[in-house]
Amino acid sequence: MRQSKLFTKTKKETPSDEVAKNAQLLIQAGYVYKNMAGAYSFLPLGLRVIEKINSIIREEMNGIGGVEMHMPSLQEERLWKQTDRWGDDNVDVWFKTELKAGGEVGLAWTHEEVVTDIMRQYVSSYKDLPFAAYQIQTKFRNEIRAKSGIMRTREFLMKDLYSFSANEEQHKEFYDTCADAYTRIFDRLGIGSQTYKTFASGGAFSKFSHEYQTLAEAGEDVVYVCEEKGIAVNKEVLEDVDLAELGVTREELVERKSIEVGNIFSLGTKFSDSIGLTFKNEAGDNTPVIMGSYGIGPARAMGTVVDLLADDKGIVWPESIAPFRVHLVALNTDDDEIRDWANGIYTSLQKLGVEVLFDDRDTRPGEKFADSDLLGIPYRVVASKRGKEDGLFEVVTRATGEVRSLTEAELFDDFSA
Ligand code: ATP
Ligand code: MG
């Protein structure tokens, strides 16, 4: 992509109406635009990051046998009354609106009811189980506070997967497999070492569900962590559970702020009972399906990465989710010969399959370098008049600041891998 064609521009100043670092940097660098409190646009660079996060999530969910689908946001009262989750007294995040044809609809804040209702059509025998279905889809939640930038918004993407099992063993096996997939996802996103599979209350079959909590000063949550044993619990578990069961004492746990990047939950037969999702077991008896639900917020994960990895110069993307791998910064572009040569380097890198953002703008070097630091693309390759004369490219690794001088052959060799 040519930066001269990119309609977004970086700003000199951080936006004054944002308190969260993730939103400040992402807006300043032109990744996102704040349309209103709790609703952001993902601009071309930001969308590339979200798509990369979604791809990692998809790969891992497909890898454990999940199949992708897409359910509507518009929700009817009838279905949600069956689980007693239509009323605003029970659910405080509904957005609802009137249909011109009469009646009320809600905007989905989760999809357990919807997916359970669909599966009634397709599940009849134990032979149909187990399976798992997921979507990456927009949720609407009337959150009271929306202060954490893109990490808590009123309209946001969620990957929500639902598992359907015939018995507890089948369910448990899938639950653990999905938990491992979550660990791999957060590793691949570059936040694995700070992310804990945290014991939370409220699961069927065992006392626990699990939250994936990333330790961060900007977090809205609090967890209690024993780094040595790799154990974390949330507040309810700390207060209500005999910690000895988990092999840890209160003294070993340190209070830390954290961000909930994901959540996995055994639902038991709560939804299948209320909505009537049953199957015939081997003995021919009607039995409720055992379900689980497994969520991740891609934008919250993106904000977490920004918060955790950024330095005083700007964003630092891990290679796995960077919008581009290489930022090719051309200097001295007022010289036609240099401009043509830099264009050639851009084309060659693209032919090698390298994702390149090409700063082909006629701006001052200082401005280009500051923008490059702010954007946080993993490798900056400088193409300058001086470099052309010496036959060398300066290559800077954004995360470490390491500077290398590579010949053209070395450059192509290095990035063709
Ligand atoms: P929280 O306690 O932070 O409100 P939650 O328990 O409501 O989260 P879930 O319903 O389990 O969250 O949603 C699954 C995932 O969706 C969360 O782990 C988080 O990554 C993401 N998520 C939840 N609410 C939001 C939001 N308002 N904005 C962006 N992402 C969200
Ligand atoms: Mg919530």
| β 326-330/379-383 pair status | parallel
Is 264 touching ligand 1 by the criterion CB < 6 Å? no
pLDDT of residue 331: 96
What's the CATH fold of domain 326-415? Rossmann fold (3.40.50)
pLDDT over 80 at 287, yes or no: yes
For range 249-258, the mean pLDDT = 97
pLDDT tens track for 54-86: 999 999 999 999 999 999 999 999 999 999 999
Evaluate if pTM is beyond 0.85: yes
CATH topology of 3-309 equal to that of 326-415?
Answer: no
Instruction: Choose which residue among 139, 162, 267, 307 to substitute to test ligand 1 binding: the one with the highest number of ligand atoms within 8 A of its C-beta.
Output: 139
In the reported structure, the alpha carbon of residue 297 is separated from the centroid of ligand 1 by a whole-number distance in angstroms of 6
For range 349-370, the mean pLDDT = 96
Q: For residue 276, what pLDDT band results from cuts at 50, 70 and 90?
A: very high
Ligand 1 atom closest to Cα of residue 143: 27
In the reported structure, the alpha carbon of residue 382 is separated from the centroid of ligand 1 by a whole-number distance in angstroms of 41
Tell me the C-alpha distance between 218 and 149, whole Å.
11
Q: Which ligand is nearest to the CA of 221?
A: 1
Ligand 1 atom closest to Cα of residue 265: 11
For range 11-16, the mean pLDDT = 89
pLDDT tens track for 186-244: 999 999 999 999 999 988 888 899 999 999 999 999 999 999 999 999 999 999 999 99
Q: What is the average pLDDT score of the chain?
A: 96
Tell me the C-alpha distance between 214 and 50, whole Å.
18
Contacts of 28 (CB under 8 A, 6+ apart): 10, 11, 13, 14, 15, 314, 374
The token duo for 378 is 């993993």
Is 109 touching ligand 1 by the criterion CB < 6 Å? no
The token duo for 170 is 């089948």
Is 295 touching ligand 1 by the criterion CB < 6 Å? yes
pLDDT of residue 283: 96
pLDDT over 80 at 417, yes or no: no
pLDDT of residue 138: 98
Q: For residue 389, what pLDDT band results from cuts at 50, 70 and 90?
A: very high
For range 151-163, the mean pLDDT = 98
Ligand 1 atom closest to Cα of residue 141: 27
In the CATH hierarchy, which top-level class contains the domain 3-309? alpha beta
pLDDT of residue 203: 81
pLDDT tens track for 237-250: 999 999 999 999 99
In the reported structure, the alpha carbon of residue 153 is separated from the centroid of ligand 2 by a whole-number distance in angstroms of 10
Instruction: List the domain boundaries for the chain.
Output: 3-309, 326-415
pLDDT of residue 17: 86
pLDDT tens track for 108-139: 999 999 999 999 999 999 999 999 999 999 99
The residue nearest atom 6 of ligand 1, judged by CA position, is 263
For range 385-414, the mean pLDDT = 96
In the reported structure, the alpha carbon of residue 283 is separated from the centroid of ligand 2 by a whole-number distance in angstroms of 41
In the reported structure, the alpha carbon of residue 119 is separated from the centroid of ligand 1 by a whole-number distance in angstroms of 24
Q: Which ligand is nearest to the CA of 261?
A: 1
The residue nearest atom 25 of ligand 1, judged by CA position, is 152
The residue nearest atom 21 of ligand 1, judged by CA position, is 297
Is 263 touching ligand 1 by the criterion CB < 6 Å? yes
Tell me the C-alpha distance between 359 and 371, whole Å.
10
Is 152 touching ligand 1 by the criterion CB < 6 Å? yes
Instruction: Choose which residue among 197, 263, 296 to substitute to test ligand 1 binding: the one with the highest number of ligand atoms within 8 A of its C-beta.
Output: 263
In the reported structure, the alpha carbon of residue 348 is separated from the centroid of ligand 2 by a whole-number distance in angstroms of 47
Is 260 touching ligand 1 by the criterion CB < 6 Å? yes
pLDDT over 90 at 147, yes or no: no
